[in-house]
C-alpha cells in the first residue's frame, strides 16, 4: 500500500508543475512549458499508480479471504467495500483534480491574453510617443518658415517678386499646419464616434475632376503625369457625403503624388449599376516607392507610417490613411491596397451608394441657393456688425471687406454686441448682417446670439469660431445663427458666405 505521505508528494509534483507554468514569464516560460506539462503528467501517473496499488492490495486480500474461506461474512463484506471504495476514490480524485487543472488552464490562457494585450498597449503607447515627437517636428518646421519669412518681410526691403515668393512660402506652410490640425481633429472625432456623415446628391464626376485639377500643380512641380480616367457610366448624381468624398480622394491622390518621384499617378473611376444601387470603384495607382508586405500590414494603423525613414523623408501625421479608411467605411465602402516595393502602389476605394438621377432625395442639408441669386462680388453692400475681441482678426476681416461698399461697425465683447444690435432694430441703421465670434469676454457668442434673437433681430447672424466640431455647429444653430464660418477664415468661403446672407437680408 502507498503511504499517505507518498500520495501527498505526488500531488505536490502536480502543483509544482502547474504553479511553475503559471508564474514563469516571457521566454523562460516558453522554454519550461514542456517540462511543466511533463511534471504534471508524471505526478498524475504516480497518483494514479498509488491509487491502483491501494485497490490491488484490497483485491488480493479479498481474493485470499475468499479462497481460504476462513473469514467471516462481515470481513468479506468489509473487503468488498474497501475494494469498491478504491475505485470510488480514484473517480472522486479525478473529479476533484481535473476541474482544478482545467480552471488553472483557463487562468493561464487569460494570463496569456493579458500579456498579449499588454504588449499591444506598450506598442500603442510607443507609437503615440513617436507620433507626438513627430508632431513636434511637423508643427515646428512650418512655424519656423512662417515666422522666419514674416520677419524678413517686416525688416528687409524686397522686390515685389521676392515679397510674392515669401508670402507664398508663408501661405503654403500655413496650409500645411491647418492640414495637421484637421487630421488630429478628425481622428479625435472618429475615435469618439462623433463623426458626422451627411449624404446628399453628389456629382461624382465633377468632384473627382475638381480634386484632380486642385492637385495638378503638385504633380507638375515633381514633373509627374496626373491621369484622369472616369468611365462614362458613372451616374451624374449619387448619394454620398460630398465633403468626406473630397477629403478621401484628396488624401489618397495627394499621398500618391507625395510618394512618387517619377512616372505617373492615375485616378480611375468605374461603376457597376443595378438601379438604384451603384458600386463605384476608385483606384489610385502610382509608380512610386511602393511598400513591402510588412509595411502594408500596418499602413492603416493610426500614428504610424511605413517606417521612420518615411516620416523623416516625406513628413505627415501618420493619421491620413487611418482617417480615410474609417470615413470610407462610414460612407458604406472600404479602402484596400496592393503594393510592390520599388514599383508602386494601388489604393482601391469602393463606395456603395445609390443613384439620384431619377428620383428626389430627401436630405436634412440646407439646399444650396444658386449662385445667380447672390450679389456679385463688386456689388456687395450693406451694414455689418462685427463682434470680435481679437485685434488681428478684426483687422483681417476689415481688410477682406474693405474693398466693398460695406459699413462695418465693431463690438469687442458680447455685451457690446448685444447693445449695438438691439439698438439698431427697426431703425435706419438696422444691421443687414452680424458676424459673431463665439469666444467673447463678458457674454459669449452663443448667449449673445440668443439675446439678440430674443430682442427681435430677424436678420442673418454668422458665427465665426475655431470650434469646428459638429456639436459646435449644432449649438450655433440652436442659438439662432444662420451660418457657420470656421477659423482660420478662408477668404473665398468667407466672402461667399457674406454675399449670400447680405443678399438674403436685402
> For 409-446, b where at least 16 C-beta lie within 10 A, e where not — what string?
bbbbbbbbbbebbeebeeeeeebbbbbbbbbbeebbbb
Q: Give the list of residues 6+ apart from residue 451 with CB closer than 8 angstroms, or none.
A: 418, 422, 443
Angle at 305 between CA 299 and CA 311, to 5 degrees: 160
Question: What is the pLDDT of the chain when averaged over all its residues?
Answer: 75
CA 106 to CA 99: how far, in whole Å? Answer: 10
Chain segment 220-232, per-residue pLDDT in tens: 989 999 999 999 8
DSSP state of 358: S
Contact status, residue 146 vs residue 167, Cβ threshold 8 Å: no
Contact status, residue 506 vs residue 432, Cβ threshold 8 Å: yes
Tell me the pTM. 0.52
Provide the terminal-to-terminal Cα distance of the chain, rounded to the nearest Å: 109
State whether residue 390 is helix, strand or coil: coil
Residue linked to cell 503624388: 257
**Mean pLDDT, to the nearest integer, of 356-372?**
42
Residue 489 has pLDDT above 70, yes or no: yes
CA 208 to CA 249: how far, in whole Å? Answer: 7
Q: Any long-range contacts for 143-146 (C-beta under 8 Å, 24+ apart)?
A: 143/173, 143/177, 145/169, 145/170, 145/173, 146/170, 146/173, 146/174, 146/177
Residue 117 has pLDDT above 50, yes or no: yes
Among 169-178, 395-404, 465-474, where is mean pLDDT lowest?
Answer: 465-474
CA 242 to CA 254: how far, in whole Å? Answer: 18
pLDDT of residue 504: 56
Contact status, residue 279 vs residue 350, Cβ threshold 8 Å: yes
Residue 79 has pLDDT above 70, yes or no: no
Residue 282 has pLDDT above 90, yes or no: yes
As given in the structure block, the three cell numbers for residue 490 are 478662408
37: which strand partners? Answer: none
Q: Any long-range contacts for 422-429 (C-beta under 8 Å, 24+ apart)?
A: 422/451, 422/452, 422/455, 422/456, 422/457, 424/383, 424/385, 425/455, 425/456, 425/457, 426/456, 429/383
Nearest to 505 by CA among 482, 486, 484, 489: 482
Angle at 171 between CA 377 and CA 398, to 5 degrees: 40
Sign of CA dihedral 18, 22, 28, 33: positive
Residue linked to cell 493619421: 319
CA 299 to CA 291: how far, in whole Å? Answer: 9
Chain segment 294-350, per-residue pLDDT in tens: 888 878 876 555 554 444 444 555 678 888 898 899 898 999 999 998 899 999 999
More confident call, 185 vs 9:
185
Residue 142 has pLDDT above 70, yes or no: yes
pLDDT of residue 396: 87
CA 170 to CA 179: how far, in whole Å? Answer: 14
CA 327 to CA 249: how far, in whole Å? Answer: 11
Contact status, residue 387 vs residue 445, Cβ threshold 8 Å: yes
Amino acid at each position: 500500500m502507498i503511504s499517505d505521505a507518498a500520495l501527498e508528494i505526488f500531488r505536490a509534483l502536480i502543483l509544482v508543475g502547474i504553479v511553475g507554468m503559471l508564474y514563469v514569464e516571457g521566454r523562460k516560460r516558453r522554454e519550461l512549458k514542456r517540462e511543466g506539462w511533463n511534471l504534471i503528467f508524471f505526478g498524475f501517473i504516480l497518483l494514479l499508480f498509488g491509487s491502483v496499488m491501494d485497490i490491488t492490495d484490497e483485491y488480493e486480500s479479498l481474493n485470499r479471504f475468499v479462497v481460504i474461506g476462513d473469514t467471516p461474512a462481515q470481513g468479506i463484506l468489509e473487503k468488498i467495500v474497501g475494494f469498491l471504495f478504491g475505485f470510488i476514490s480514484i473517480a472522486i480524485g479525478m473529479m476533484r483534480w481535473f476541474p482544478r487543472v482545467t480552471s488553472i488552464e483557463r487562468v493561464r490562457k487569460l494570463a496569456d491574453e493579458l500579456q498579449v494585450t499588454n504588449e499591444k498597449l506598450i506598442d500603442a503607447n510607443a507609437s503615440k510617443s513617436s507620433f507626438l515627437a513627430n508632431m513636434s517636428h511637423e508643427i515646428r518646421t512650418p512655424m519656423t518658415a512662417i515666422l522666419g519669412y514674416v520677419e524678413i518681410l517686416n525688416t528687409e526691403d524686397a522686390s515685389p517678386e521676392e515679397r510674392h515668393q515669401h508670402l507664398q512660402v508663408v501661405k503654403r506652410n500655413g496650409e500645411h499646419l491647418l492640414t495637421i490640425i484637421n487630421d488630429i481633429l478628425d481622428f479625435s472625432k472618429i475615435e469618439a464616434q462623433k463623426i458626422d456623415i451627411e449624404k446628399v446628391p453628389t456629382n461624382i464626376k465633377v468632384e473627382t475632376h475638381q480634386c484632380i485639377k486642385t492637385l495638378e500643380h503638385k504633380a507638375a512641380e515633381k514633373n509627374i503625369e496626373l491621369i484622369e480616367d472616369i468611365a462614362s457610366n458613372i451616374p451624374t448624381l449619387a448619394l454620398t457625403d460630398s465633403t468626406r468624398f473630397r477629403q478621401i480622394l484628396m488624401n489618397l491622390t495627394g499621398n500618391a503624388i507625395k510618394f512618387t518621384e517619377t512616372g505617373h499617378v492615375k485616378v480611375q473611376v468605374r461603376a457597376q449599376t443595378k438601379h438604384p444601387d451603384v458600386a463605384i470603384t476608385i483606384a489610385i495607382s502610382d509608380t512610386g516607392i511602393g511598400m513591402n508586405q510588412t509595411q502594408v500590414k500596418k499602413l492603416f494603423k493610426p500614428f504610424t507610417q511605413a517606417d521612420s525613414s518615411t516620416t523623416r523623408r516625406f513628413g505627415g501625421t501618420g493619421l491620413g490613411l487611418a482617417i480615410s479608411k474609417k470615413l470610407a467605411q462610414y460612407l458604406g465602402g472600404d479602402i484596400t491596397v496592393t503594393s510592390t516595393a520599388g514599383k508602386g502602389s494601388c489604393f482601391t476605394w469602393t463606395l456603395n451608394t445609390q443613384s439620384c438621377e431619377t428620383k428626389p432625395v430627401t436630405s436634412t442639408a440646407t439646399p444650396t441657393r444658386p449662385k445667380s441669386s447672390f450679389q456679385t462680388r463688386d456689388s456687395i453692400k450693406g451694414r455689418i456688425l462685427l463682434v470680435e475681441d481679437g485685434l488681428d482678426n478684426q483687422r483681417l476681416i476689415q481688410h477682406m471687406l474693405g474693398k466693398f461698399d460695406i459699413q462695418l461697425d465693431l463690438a469687442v465683447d458680447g455685451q457690446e454686441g448685444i447693445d449695438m444690435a438691439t439698438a439698431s432694430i427697426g431703425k435706419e441703421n438696422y444691421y443687414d448682417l452680424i458676424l459673431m465670434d463665439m469666444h467673447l469676454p463678458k457674454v459669449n457668442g452663443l448667449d449673445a446670439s440668443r439675446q439678440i434673437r430674443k430682442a427681435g433681430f430677424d436678420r442673418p447672424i454668422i458665427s465665426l469660431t475655431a470650434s469646428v466640431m459638429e456639436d459646435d455647429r449644432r449649438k450655433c444653430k440652436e442659438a439662432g445663427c444662420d451660418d457657420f464660418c470656421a477659423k482660420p477664415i478662408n477668404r473665398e468661403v468667407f466672402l461667399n458666405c457674406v454675399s449670400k446672407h447680405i443678399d438674403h437680408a436685402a
